A and B are shown apart, each in its own frame.
Chain A
Amino acid sequence: MTRGSVRFEGVGKRFGKVTALEPLTLDIAPGTLVTLLGPSGCGKTTTLRLIAGLESASEGRILIGGHDVTHLAATYRRVSMVFQSYALFPHMTVLENVAYGLRVKRLPKADVQAQAEEGLALVGLTGFGARLPSELSGGQQQRVAVARAIVLEPEVLLLDEPLSNLDAKLRRHVREEIRQIQQRLGLTAVYVTHDQEEAMAVSDRIIVMKNAEIAQEGSPHDLYDRPASAFIADFIGDANLIDVEVTLAGATTGLTLLDRPLTLPLASIETGPAKLVLRPHQLQLSAEPLPGSLPAEVRYAAWLGNQIQYTLDSAAGPLFAITAPVAAPFRQGDSVHLTFAASDARLVRG
């Protein structure tokens, strides 16, 4: 294996009676940015801290760059971390913060200075070295934290919800910067977030976690287009989940939706109850009934300028639809008829 790869072999973690992580196996390829995504409390931070060496595994083996580091203390792992709170040392200047890791490695003074300046330049903070962290804005502090982590040229860079303390506008900008730095330096990075949009925007691969386990992993596109469960379908991009009954499994799938038969051009393996996944923008609304359309009533309509969002009541339950802005949108209480393209629909287990 090469420098920068991370491998978990059956790694689990318990805190007393609480299981923070079920034994799991995962592989992270060198030079990629992998995101751990999932709701709060699902074990993302624990996974990250296991890689860092800040927690010790209850079982299993952890390998970094092909070496077994399960019992290696955090100090000696070539892994850096950007903390949610940034954890900048308040009593040191920005430059001293960035130089800290180099200094404790006892590099020559001149090298420390030069590399630290270089790190600051990389995040666009040249000239800020003499300030204290408290004299910087949130976004600048965040970049200092990144610079401090990458000047050590770690094998793996860990980021725990690095954007959660920034305001929404800044978040998009900073996440692009982080991604660019990671790609430019060819770093392996593990990125933790609970924001699926952020995950989709920065990742090569996403590992979705739920209840201390991996729910699904794959590229952002994979996860969106081929959700393996209702949880993933709902978590990665919004989805309407409609109860259906699969009657015919095979290369194409036959099913009944509200007692009406329907054929989908996708493969399935078993018959029985399932859920149809339809993204909000895949639903078309019309005032007149169309062949095979589903009647519904507009319960709430929100006009957002670039789109219109509808909450609808239908025989299949409440549905959520997004359409392009039109001159005369539907109003609350209007009757509408829904259609969708059979090729857009996906099936997940019920």
Chain B
Amino acid sequence: MIGLAGYALLPWYISAGGFWSFGWLAAPLGAGSSALVWAMSGRLWLVGPLLGLGFAAAVLAARRPPLATARGLVAAGALGLATMLGQGLMILGTGTRFGLAEASQPGMGAGAFVTAAALLFLITTGISGLGRGRGDAFVTGLVGLVVALVAVFVFYPMAFILIRAFELKGGAGFGVSEFLPRFFAPEIWSVSCLGGGRWCGPAVNSLLLALLTGAGTTLLGLAFALIFTRTDFPAKRLLRVLTILPIITPPFVIGLALILLFGRAGTITEFFADAFGWEKTRWLYGFWGVWLAQMLSFAPIAFLVLIGVVEGVSPSMEEASQTLNATRWQTFRYVSLPLMRPGLANAFLLGFIESLADFGNPLVLGGNFNVLSTDIYFAIVGTVADPAKAAILSMILLAMTLSAFVLQRQWLGNKSYATVTGKADSGRHAALSSGVRRACYALALPWAAFTLAVYLLIVFGSFVKLWGYDHTFTLIHYKRAFGIIMRNGIHFTGAAWDSYFTTLTISAISAPLTAAVGLATAYLLVRQNFIGKGAFEFSTMLSFAIPGTVIGVAYVMAFNFPPIELTGTALILIIVFVFRNMPVGVRGGIAAMSQLDRSLDEASIMLGANSATTLRRVILPLLGPAILAALTYSFVRAITSVSAVIFLVSARHNMATAFIVGRVENNEFGIAIAYATVLIVTMLAAILALQALIGRRRLRRTDRVEAH
């Protein structure tokens, strides 16, 4: 017990001695001066945390029974944290809220962060001392940390959306009076296009688009999955490649390729115009263009999901059906398909959410067709910035994605018959009846060819002068973007280098952080039991359902001023990536950890290792592939993500995708496509390199074993 308490003590004693400094970020005079200094020089409100820490020290020094000490620690930590939060939220950079006192302060800095962490761990250690979480300070600390991070970087900004939605026009304060009329305004909800009118509100547009995309991707995904698992189709590996493509494809790329094909000057448009004298229309710039782009982008995701679903149908059930003299068609219709139904619903909802959250495709192809995600963007960056409108649109979008998310979880919670038990189920899947097989081929193969053509075009398009007009080979786009001059050393003169390096750096920093937070959360969810675990799981998965645009807006609103002032820094980009991509890390970690027998960690615990050592020595080494997947995925996602980033980039920290948006808006398609190609190659290289890294580690191990 004393050992435990001592362990808990260390972090904050160090912090109290070393990093006890607020506000050194912005204070010009006393750069690096500590809160202690500030408190003495008049900022009395900074005394709170010190009181908390002092109280904790007193509690520990008193050497009371462990239970009393633990309670004291919880109280002390809570006191310190509460006063700190209180002053942070009340006293802003420009003055106090509600005009309580004459005071102002800049955003919190490293010292505040360390102090807050110390106070937090004081609480969690106290809680573990109370006998919760099997008395494991590491586990309660980890829970506390993840909860605090999610609270600050997911819930806190979301709260801002809620508040700003109630803002009155012209900055006249807040009120409900304008909220309802604006929320239900016909300009958002108009359905006139359904009745032959020309125009629908963005909410309706988004919804219709999402429904059609969800249905379309599910159908295509199912066709591909059936071909992949139930036929002897010769080029299955090629199909696999299809599933990787959307992950490494920067946004806009598909939209751009479609423009090059079907736009007014597109190849195919030209072809039909020449051959049949068809009129060159702008049909691509609207509902169907966006839909086509989304189908290309998200069908592979449905494919990936549905492979698992189709394989999950136990072959023995299909065999049972066939021994009962059902034909292949009957077996498929009455046994396999019903068993897949929950999986199909899942794929549909996934496509639905992705479509709602999609930003790049509507931005490029939308034209006059408005959807929520782009309207939010224009409400912030448009000529008349209207944060309240952005907040209201965000709330609507969020409501849609969250409903789908909740629905999806309930479907999966109650009705997943197609369970994978881990028990080897011998037997083979029934082959498809010829009718179904032909339907699948007819649907999937042209689509695969189309996808392939689109991707080839991208590469091709980056090497021609001006697509649709001048198809001579050129390297000019690459030169302008990635030019290097070798005079007195290397000079990166290309316009894209800055954003390229920033992108790589920030992605490389955020990837391991994402993997760490995701896997730590997965570890807590799979291996530990604590009160409120259900809510904990839900809130960590929640950010999956929050569209990037909404996150971006929320971050701009929340982190633009003290107490946490981050806009314009690289840090905010890193943070947004970590919390956007965390759910995928969590899922991967959960899947991988569920396959590790729990008795392995228990054995380690029994041998005297604590949870931290067990995590490091036993679980992490056995999670190699899952860690690799999480790293790769978060790295690549950080490179390709645009929706949230576009609000958060700054002149100093520009990201590749934001740069591409700029080129597209200037109609510099050549550079945009050349840049995208470079990004795709970069990501492929990164994936291969990471894989080789882990692969080599495994080799070394077997080498050593054989040498003995």
User: Which A residues lie at the B interface, using CB under 8 A?
Assistant: 52-54, 56, 71-76, 79-81, 83-85, 87-91, 93, 100-101, 104-105, 130-132, 148-149, 152
* Residues of chain A within 8 A of B134, CB atoms compared: 53, 56, 73-74
Chain A nearest CB: distance from B250 CB in Å? 37
Q: Are A130 and B602 in contact (CB under 8 A)?
A: no
CA distance A91 to B599 in the complex (A): 15
Given contacts A87-B600, A93-B705, A132-B705, contact A52 B606 (CB under 8 A): yes
Q: Are B606 and A89 in contact (CB under 8 A)?
A: no
Given contacts A54-B602, A83-B602, A91-B621, contact A73 B135 (CB under 8 A): yes
Given contacts A73-B136, A91-B622, A93-B705, contact A105 B599 (CB under 8 A): no
CA distance A104 to B613 in the complex (A): 8
Q: Are B613 and A130 in contact (CB under 8 A)?
A: no
Q: Are B607 and A72 in contact (CB under 8 A)?
A: no
- The dominant DSSP class at the A interface is loop
Q: Are A104 and B602 in contact (CB under 8 A)?
A: no
CA distance A72 to B631 in the complex (A): 37
CA distance A53 to B708 in the complex (A): 38
User: Which B residues lie at the A interface, using CB under 8 A?
Assistant: 3, 131, 134-136, 597, 599-600, 602-611, 613, 617-618, 621-622, 701, 705, 708
- The dominant DSSP class at the B interface is helix
CA distance A178 to B348 in the complex (A): 57
Residue in B603, B613, B617, B622 whose Cβ sees the most chain A Cβ within 10 Å: B603
Chain B nearest CB: distance from A86 CB in Å? 8
Q: Are B606 and A80 in contact (CB under 8 A)?
A: yes
Q: Are A75 and B602 in contact (CB under 8 A)?
A: no
* Residues of chain B within 8 A of A80, CB atoms compared: 606-607
* Residues of chain B within 8 A of A87, CB atoms compared: 597, 599-600, 602-603
CA distance A148 to B608 in the complex (A): 12
Cross-chain contact of B606 among A71, A81, A84, A105 (Cβ < 8 A): A81
* Residues of chain A within 8 A of B701, CB atoms compared: 91
Which A-B residue pairs are the 7 nearest by beta carbons?
A101-B607, A130-B708, A87-B603, A87-B599, A104-B609, A81-B606, A83-B599
Given contacts A81-B603, A85-B597, A87-B603, contact A130 B609 (CB under 8 A): no
* Residues of chain B within 8 A of A89, CB atoms compared: 600, 603-604, 618, 622
* Residues of chain B within 8 A of A84, CB atoms compared: 599
* Residues of chain B within 8 A of A72, CB atoms compared: 135
CA distance A79 to B131 in the complex (A): 19
Chain A nearest CB: distance from B295 CB in Å? 43
Q: Are A54 and B605 in contact (CB under 8 A)?
A: yes
Q: Are B621 and A104 in contact (CB under 8 A)?
A: no
Q: Are B622 and A100 in contact (CB under 8 A)?
A: no
* Residues of chain B within 8 A of A83, CB atoms compared: 599, 602-603
Cross-chain contact of A130 among B604, B608, B705 (Cβ < 8 A): B705
Cross-chain contact of B607 among A53, A73, A152 (Cβ < 8 A): A152
* Residues of chain B within 8 A of A152, CB atoms compared: 607-608
Residue in B136, B605, B607, B610 whose Cβ sees the most chain A Cβ within 10 Å: B607
Chain A nearest CB: distance from B346 CB in Å? 28
CA distance A122 to B170 in the complex (A): 83
CA distance A105 to B604 in the complex (A): 12
Residue of B whose beta carbon sits closest to that of A104: B609
* Residues of chain A within 8 A of B605, CB atoms compared: 54, 74-75
Q: Are B705 and A75 in contact (CB under 8 A)?
A: no
* Residues of chain B within 8 A of A90, CB atoms compared: 622
Residue of A whose beta carbon sits closest to that of B702: A132
Chain A nearest CB: distance from B696 CB in Å? 15
* Residues of chain B within 8 A of A79, CB atoms compared: 606
Residue in A53, A85, A100, A105 whose Cβ sees the most chain B Cβ within 10 Å: A100
Q: Are B597 and A100 in contact (CB under 8 A)?
A: no
CA distance A131 to B613 in the complex (A): 23
* Residues of chain B within 8 A of A101, CB atoms compared: 607-609
Residue of B whose beta carbon sits closest to that of A79: B606
Cross-chain contact of B602 among A56, A81, A88, A132 (Cβ < 8 A): A81
A-B contacts, 11 of them at CB < 8 A, read A54-B602, A56-B134, A72-B135, A74-B606, A75-B608, A83-B599, A83-B603, A84-B599, A104-B607, A104-B609, A131-B705
* Residues of chain B within 8 A of A73, CB atoms compared: 134-136, 610
* Residues of chain B within 8 A of A131, CB atoms compared: 705, 708
CA distance A6 to B134 in the complex (A): 20
Given contacts A73-B136, A80-B606, A152-B608, contact A56 B131 (CB under 8 A): yes
* Residues of chain A within 8 A of B131, CB atoms compared: 56, 71
Chain A nearest CB: distance from B296 CB in Å? 41
Task: List 16 extra interface pairs beyond A87-B600, A100-B617, CB under 8 A.
Answer: A52-B602, A53-B134, A56-B134, A80-B606, A81-B602, A87-B603, A89-B603, A91-B621, A100-B604, A100-B607, A100-B609, A101-B607, A101-B608, A101-B609, A131-B705, A152-B607
Chain A nearest CB: distance from B68 CB in Å? 14
Chain B nearest CB: distance from A247 CB in Å? 55
CA distance A71 to B622 in the complex (A): 30
Cross-chain contact of B599 among A76, A85, A100, A148 (Cβ < 8 A): A85
Chain A nearest CB: distance from B451 CB in Å? 40
CA distance A75 to B131 in the complex (A): 14
Chain B nearest CB: distance from A324 CB in Å? 44
Chain B nearest CB: distance from A252 CB in Å? 53
CA distance A90 to B613 in the complex (A): 17
Q: Are A75 and B603 in contact (CB under 8 A)?
A: no
CA distance A214 to B128 in the complex (A): 32
CA distance A73 to B134 in the complex (A): 6
* Residues of chain A within 8 A of B608, CB atoms compared: 75-76, 101, 104-105, 152
CA distance A149 to B608 in the complex (A): 11
Chain A nearest CB: distance from B414 CB in Å? 19
CA distance A89 to B607 in the complex (A): 12
Chain B nearest CB: distance from A94 CB in Å? 11
CA distance A71 to B132 in the complex (A): 9
* Residues of chain B within 8 A of A75, CB atoms compared: 136, 605, 608-611
